Structure 1
Amino acid sequence: MSDVLPEEVTALAEAVGPEPDELVEEMDARAEREGFPTVGPAVGGWLALLARVVDARRVFEFGSGFGYSAYWFARELPADGEVVLTEVDRDELEDARTYFERAGLADRARFEHGDAIETVTEYEGPFDVVLVDNEKSRYVEAFEAVREKVREGGLVLADNAVTAGPIDRTDVLALLSGESVEASDASRGIADYLGHVREAEGFETALLPLGEGVAVSVRRD
């Protein structure tokens, strides 16, 4: 169950969204079994839709785990498209590679082991979609590292914009409102990010309150 929406609403979002395939169902089962955080099929469907809306050809992810969100993106890319997966855990990255190979999508993916913010400096833009899902305290750093590489009309998506683990959305809202509260580093990181993109020149941001919350920022110029 999502901590953002009632279970029935999440189930409805999943029912209306794109149909998960057998590999998505397998990864969902793994996430449930291992307690591994993924965006889930409701948000995965939105990632796929947003990629399709902006006619995405190149996607970059800050933090990919075993490839769940990247797989939703990859299914929407053209044959010559590219999604860049980054992950500090080598085993998880290799699992992602295996999933992509089984799906016949490995030729449209690049698997980068190491720090995502260091990795993005090695890439030139433009990117059509960027997903920020690394350490919450480094979200602003990730955004600044990639913002000039996002094309006009492209998207920067940030997961966990409402909740996840040590993130307290009440604290996030209080911090955004300028209040002084004792909050976790993760909550402060999310509040800093939301405040930063809200004021970022050339970007417009809205919140998708599904899953654990996704901040959607579009580059206007």
Structure 2
Amino acid sequence: MREREYVRSLFGKEDDVLKSIAPGLEERDMPQISVPPEVGKTLYLLAKMSGAKRVLEIGALGGYSTIWLARALPESGKVVSLEISQKHADFAAENVAKAGLKERVTFLVGDAMQSLDTLARKGERFDFFFIDADKPNYINYLEKVIQLSEPGAVITADNLFQHGRIFDDQDQAPSPRTIRQFNEQIANDPRLESMLLTIGDGLGVCRVKEKK
């Protein structure tokens, strides 16, 4: 689409580290499913404007979105990134180090639901979240991150259009079916104020309401 290419050319500019991630994924036979540059820039701006200091990311892959998020934080800020694959986490850590952000990012390798439970038991709290992992667990992830959120925290989630699959009601595969439910939930959940941005493959943006 002309609009997407126009936005990307003006607002989604990448430096050498970000540009190197896609070729690196290909060399390592990893999936090419990083967010596009314009979504990375949007995440950066949302984290920056919200004043985020502690970010929780679910799904690191090659660290592309991790770098955008870490760059939005103050020097004392922290990104905790959950990744099920040690191979992916190692490559992400390599890229984060190249970007000079090693001190701001911690990778936790393993099942994300178990990692989320561990963080909750430790009393950890975050003010910004990015969900970009296995789609059938999105609703479970949403519940967990709400539990881990500070009042007013921002929750973002990628791939909420499923490349158009959500619009085909005959497609009842686990991913599009769950994402339809997820979209309905963030639209109607009384704990959240939400919007679905028509950028990339659909980026959900939610704000956790303060308790009265």
TM-score normalised by the chain length of structure 2: 0.89
Identity among equivalent pairs (%): 27
* 1:146 equivalent in alignment to 2:140: no
Q: CA deviation at 1:87?
A: 1.0
| Structure 1 unaligned spans of 5+ | 1-5, 175-180
Q: Which residue of 1 aligns with 2:155?
A: 156
Return the letter of the residue paired with 1:65: L
Q: CA deviation at 1:104?
A: 1.6
* 1:73 equivalent in alignment to 2:69: yes
Q: Which residue of 2 aligns with 1:20?
A: 14
* CA–CA distance in structure 2, aligned partners of residues 81 and 133 of structure 1: 21
Q: Which residue of 1 aligns with 2:203?
A: 214
* CA–CA distance in structure 2, aligned partners of residues 141 and 54 of structure 1: 24
Q: Is the 8 A contact 2:67 2:99 kept in 1?
A: no
Q: Which residue of 1 aligns with 2:184?
A: 195
Report SS of the residue matched to 2:45: helix
* CA–CA distance in structure 1, aligned partners of residues 12 and 37 of structure 2: 9
* CA–CA distance in structure 2, aligned partners of residues 12 and 31 of structure 1: 25
| Structure 2 unaligned spans of 5+ | none
Instruction: With a CA cutoff of 8 Å and minimum separation of 6, indicate the structure with the bigger relative contact order.
Output: 1
Q: Is the 8 A contact 2:166 2:177 kept in 1?
A: no
TM-score normalised by the chain length of structure 1: 0.86
**Corresponding residue pairs, total:** 205
Q: Is the 8 A contact 1:125 1:151 kept in 2?
A: no
Return the letter of the residue paired with 2:15: D
Runs of 4+ displaced beyond 4 Å: 31-35
* 1:9 equivalent in alignment to 2:3: yes
Q: CA deviation at 1:150?
A: 1.6
Q: Which residue of 2 aligns with 1:58?
A: 54
Segment drifting more, 150-159 vs 46-55: 150-159
Q: CA deviation at 1:129?
A: 1.2
Deviations 1:172-191 (A, max 9, x none): xx4xxxxxx45211111101
* CA–CA distance in structure 1, aligned partners of residues 129 and 57 of structure 2: 6
Report SS of the residue matched to 2:118: coil
Q: Is the 8 A contact 1:59 1:82 kept in 2?
A: yes
Matches within 5 A, 1:108-127: 108-123=104-119, 124-127=123-126
RMSD: 1.8
* CA–CA distance in structure 2, aligned partners of residues 56 and 13 of structure 1: 25
